[in-house]
Structure 1
Amino acid sequence: MDLHAWVDAYLDHLRVERALSPRTLEAYARDLAKLCALCEASGISSPGELDATVVSTYLVELGRQGLGARSATRHLSAVRGFSKFLLRERAISANPAALVERPRTSRKLPKVLSVEEIGRILEAPDGRSFRGLRDRAMLHVMYAAGLRVSEVVGLKIADVDRKQGVVFAFGKGSKRRIVPLGEPALDALDAYLAVRKDHPRAAMTPALFLSPRGKPLTRQGVWKLLGAYARGVGVTKPSSPHKLRHSFATHLLEGGADLRSVQALLGHADITTTEIYTHLTDDHVRTVYRRSHPRS
């Protein structure tokens, strides 16, 4: 098979065996298509012709096209995954990306909302209407469980266990994790579910959070309503579903949670992804030290 056919086989592997989302598959397809284009321009048509020089040249070319280090790192990750697949299928005898170093990136600390700002946003929806009760419950669940926006809109009624006080979230790669919900979130859910059952199309869809037309909410819709509520209560910081997730993690660590627990709650496969939040709590630690230590 030529390089294009092997890329197609790899994407099938990711879709069937690893159950990656369509959005992730599209990103892999775009990244590997650029690799194939470079190889074609260099007269390379088979996997056996790939080597470290080709991969390094690929990264250099991405830089010439204006891609930053973070984007180039993502492309290299796609090539590494593809190379491991070729090795497993015995299409190549050595990994061409094994010795290629990742581009150095400066890691930006995620900006978070304060506990007080979160509280104002959570109480912003009008609790006298279907839409307001739905939005209040959704915002409470997003913050209480640190969910991604895709996880929130994908929630079904069966994913909430009121008796145990937990929500079953399905993250990247359809991996399920169990996250506890606090009483405020559970109370907000109870109030919403009490009116949801009277929705004329409630029985026609298992989705937890419904639009007035009875369809599941969209990711874009959640972004818009969160931004509107934040502006409505005077929160001037940029607000987004992921800001709630960042705030959830930071507030847990400030409250004394250990890093491994936060990793499990967020659904991070690698703890280094979670470690970035430890930098956000440095000021909090210094404040506690100055307030608590007898010799500070």
Structure 2
Amino acid sequence: MKREIPTPESWIEPLSAYLAWLRGVRRAEGTIYQHSYQLRRFATSTGLDPWPVTTTQLVDHLASLDDRDVGASARRTVRQVLRGFYGWGVIVERWDANPALRIPAINAPRGVARPAPEHSVKVGLHTPDDRTRAMILLAVRCGLRCREIAQVHTRDLIDDLVGHSLVAHGKGDKKRLVPAPPDVVRLIQDAEPGYLFAGRIDGHLSPARVSELISEALPPGVTAHMLRHRYGTRAYHLGGRDLRAVQALLGHAYSTTTEIYVATSDDSIRRAAMAAAAG
């Protein structure tokens, strides 16, 4: 879990105004938190005031990030955050030009599927903590993200033409319907009315806390997101190899993202190779 980073005094007012701007244009809370975290990290690690700042100083910050903690994808996020903040500064006339616009593009390697091993699923579903077991069940049976698990409410279970579906509250306030298997239906129907995982963030636990609890219940090295990769892989291979259907289930905007979640088995690779070599 990310450590809490204080806000330097010179950043308190502009950062608060920027985050209010993001809320005003209805950015997701997860996005707002990421911008807040990365800007506070930039401020404390560089010791710079918000303005003036140069492109060179921004690039130096990116270069200073520890490769062991920050991969290419995370660096792209930092670049996006800096471009967003200083772009806002120009819009509201706090600064003349956006110094982050000239930060070079950062190429991130294509991701690969990392489905959780089957034994780790069994371990997680046998955890003695009922609440954590319920979280893992939602990840395993419905492929939900941690933020979606955190927001599951009893009213999100609805009847459909063939059984039940669960309303998943995805990124950017987007909602989608995920078919709910019987054990998930029982879990929600037996719960007290309200959020399944009550907490202090709008009445429910934070995504970070959900992720933390799930990871603690799984074997070392297995994460909640790997359960989602497993769901996507199984949905593809056992559900007719329909990538668009899996894309809808996972709530991805692009099928190229879904492809990353779908692991190809050794048997599939061998069958493809033998078919190509035949004749």
TM-score by length of 2: 0.69
Say yes or no: does 1:289 pair with 2:272. yes
Shift of 1:245: 0.4
Preserved CA contact (<8 Å) 1:155 1:209:
yes
Indicate which of 191, 207, 215 corresponds to 2:195.
207
Shift of 1:243: 1.8
Cα distance in 1 for partners of 2:16, 2:269 equals 52
Say if 1:252 and 1:223 are closer, same or farther in 2 by CA, change over 3 A: same
Cα distance in 1 for partners of 2:245, 2:172 equals 20
Q: Deviations over 1:145-196 (max 9, x none)?
A: 2101332232111101133421111123333222223xxx2x2134445654
Q: Partner residue of 2:4?
A: none
Preserved CA contact (<8 Å) 2:114 2:261:
no
Say yes or no: does 1:163 pair with 2:165. no
Cα distance in 2 for partners of 1:61, 1:222 equals 31
Describe the SS at the equivalent of 2:102. Answer: coil
What is the letter of the counterpart of residue 231 of structure 2? F
Q: Residues 189-228 of structure 1 correspond to what in structure 2 (within 5 A)?
A: 189-192=184-187, 195-196=190-191, 202=192, 205-208=193-196, 219=210, 220-225=212-217, 227=218
Q: Partner residue of 1:62?
A: 65
Preserved CA contact (<8 Å) 1:69 1:104:
no
Cα distance in 2 for partners of 1:138, 1:68 equals 27
Cα distance in 1 for partners of 2:124, 2:63 equals 46
Q: Residues 31-70 of structure 1 correspond to what in structure 2 (within 5 A)?
A: 31-36=38-43, 41=48, 46=51, 49-62=52-65, 68-70=70-72
Preserved CA contact (<8 Å) 1:253 1:281:
no
Say if 1:193 and 1:151 are closer, same or farther in 2 by CA, change over 3 A: closer
Q: Residues 144-183 of structure 1 correspond to what in structure 2 (within 5 A)?
A: 144-164=141-161, 165-181=164-180
Shift of 1:3: 6.6
Shift of 1:246: 0.8
Cα distance in 1 for partners of 2:63, 2:124 equals 46
Say if 1:120 and 1:45 are closer, same or farther in 2 by CA, change over 3 A: closer
Q: Partner residue of 1:249?
A: 232
Preserved CA contact (<8 Å) 1:83 1:95:
yes
Q: Partner residue of 2:88?
A: 85
Q: Partner residue of 2:78?
A: 75
Preserved CA contact (<8 Å) 1:112 1:243:
yes
TM-score by length of 1: 0.66
Q: Deviations over 1:208-261 (max 9, x none)?
A: 468xxxx97762444444x2xxxxxxxx67443222101111223334444444
Cα distance in 1 for partners of 2:177, 2:250 equals 10
Cα distance in 1 for partners of 2:132, 2:42 equals 44
Indicate which of 131, 138, 143 corresponds to 2:140.
143
Cα distance in 2 for partners of 1:261, 1:27 equals 30
Q: Deviations over 1:107-134 (max 9, x none)?
A: 55342135x65885687589xxxx87x8
Preserved CA contact (<8 Å) 1:142 1:244:
yes
Query: Which structure has the greater CA radius of gyration?
Result: 1
Superposition RMSD in Å: 4.1
List runs of 5+ in structure 1 lacking aligned partners: 197-201, 228-235
Cα distance in 1 for partners of 2:134, 2:11 equals 49
Say yes or no: does 1:20 pair with 2:28. yes
Cα distance in 2 for partners of 1:60, 1:172 equals 29
Cα distance in 1 for partners of 2:166, 2:26 equals 23
Q: Partner residue of 1:199?
A: none
Cα distance in 1 for partners of 2:36, 2:121 equals 41
Cα distance in 2 for partners of 1:26, 1:224 equals 23
Say if 1:237 and 1:249 are closer, same or farther in 2 by CA, change over 3 A: farther
Q: Deviations over 1:87-115 (max 9, x none)?
A: 4435455442233224444455342135x
Q: Deviations over 1:11-41 (max 9, x none)?
A: 11223432432x6534322322344457765
Preserved CA contact (<8 Å) 1:149 1:222:
no
